[in-house]
Structure 1
Amino acid sequence: MATVIQERTIPSMDTLIKYDNPVLVATHPEKVAKETTPLKVGAGACKIQTTPPTLDLRRETVEILNGILPPKKWEEDGQEWTQQISSTPATRLDVINLQEQLDMKLQQRQAKETGICPVRRELYTQCFDEIIRQVTVNCAERGLLLLRVRDEIKMTMAAYQTLYQSSIAFGMRKALQAEQGKEDLIATAEELRVQKAELEKTVAELRQKFEQAERRAAELREAEDKKHTEEIQFLKKTNQQLKTQLEGIIAPKK
Structure 2
Amino acid sequence: MSQQAKESLIKYESAILVSEKNDKTIEKKATKRPHNKLPPVVAEPSKANQVIEEILNAIIPPKEWTEDGKLWMQKVSSTPATRLEVIALQESLDQKLQVRKARETGICPVRQDLYAQTFDELIRQVTINCAERGLLLLRVRDEIRMTTTAYQTLYESAIAWGMRKALESEQGKADMEKKIEVLEEDKKDLERQLQELKSKCEFIEKRENERRAHEEKKHAEEVAFLKRTNQQIKAQLESILKKN
- Measured in 2, the distance between the counterparts of 1:55 and 1:26 equals 30
Range moving further from structure 2, 189-198 or 116-125: 116-125
For residues 160-175 of structure 1, the aligned pairs below 5 Å read 160-175=151-166
- Unaligned 5+ segments in structure 1 are 1-8, 32-53
Root-mean-square deviation (CA, aligned residues, Å) is 2.1
Range moving further from structure 2, 91-100 or 137-146: 91-100
Using the TM superposition, give the Cα deviation of residue 28 of structure 1 relative to its aligned residue in structure 2, in angstroms: 2.1
Residue identity over aligned pairs, in percent, reads 58
The residue matched to 2:4 in structure 1 has which SS?
coil
2:17 matched residue in structure 1 = 24
- Measured in 2, the distance between the counterparts of 1:151 and 1:29 equals 34
2:31 matched residue in structure 1 = none
The superposition leaves residues 53-93 of structure 1 with CA deviations (integer Å, 9 ceiling, x where unpaired) of: x9422221112111111111111122212211111122222
Distance 1:162 1:217, change over 3 A: same
Range moving further from structure 2, 149-158 or 113-122: 113-122
Per the normalisation by structure 2, the TM-score is 0.84
Aligned pair partner of 2:183 in 188, 192, 202: 192
Q: Which amino acid aligns with 2:140?
A: V
Aligned pair partner of 1:71 in 39, 47, 62: 62
Aligned pair partner of 2:101 in 103, 110, 127: 110
Q: Which amino acid aligns with 2:228?
A: K
Q: Which amino acid aligns with 1:242?
A: I
Using the TM superposition, give the Cα deviation of residue 29 of structure 1 relative to its aligned residue in structure 2, in angstroms: 6.7
Aligned length: 223
- Measured in 1, the distance between the counterparts of 2:132 and 2:23 equals 45
Using the TM superposition, give the Cα deviation of residue 134 of structure 1 relative to its aligned residue in structure 2, in angstroms: 0.6
2:206 matched residue in structure 1 = 215
Aligned pair partner of 1:145 in 133, 136, 145: 136
2:7 maps to 1:12: no
- Measured in 2, the distance between the counterparts of 1:113 and 1:223 equals 95
Q: Which amino acid aligns with 1:131?
A: L
The residue matched to 1:80 in structure 2 has which SS?
strand
- Higher share in helix: 2
The residue matched to 1:20 in structure 2 has which SS?
coil
For residues 70-89 of structure 1, the aligned pairs below 5 Å read 70-89=61-80
Per the normalisation by structure 1, the TM-score is 0.81
Using the TM superposition, give the Cα deviation of residue 17 of structure 1 relative to its aligned residue in structure 2, in angstroms: 0.2
1:36 matched residue in structure 2 = none
- Measured in 1, the distance between the counterparts of 2:208 and 2:120 equals 101
- Measured in 2, the distance between the counterparts of 1:23 and 1:199 equals 89
The superposition leaves residues 206-236 of structure 1 with CA deviations (integer Å, 9 ceiling, x where unpaired) of: 1111111112101110110111011101111
1:159 matched residue in structure 2 = 150
- Measured in 1, the distance between the counterparts of 2:218 and 2:50 equals 133
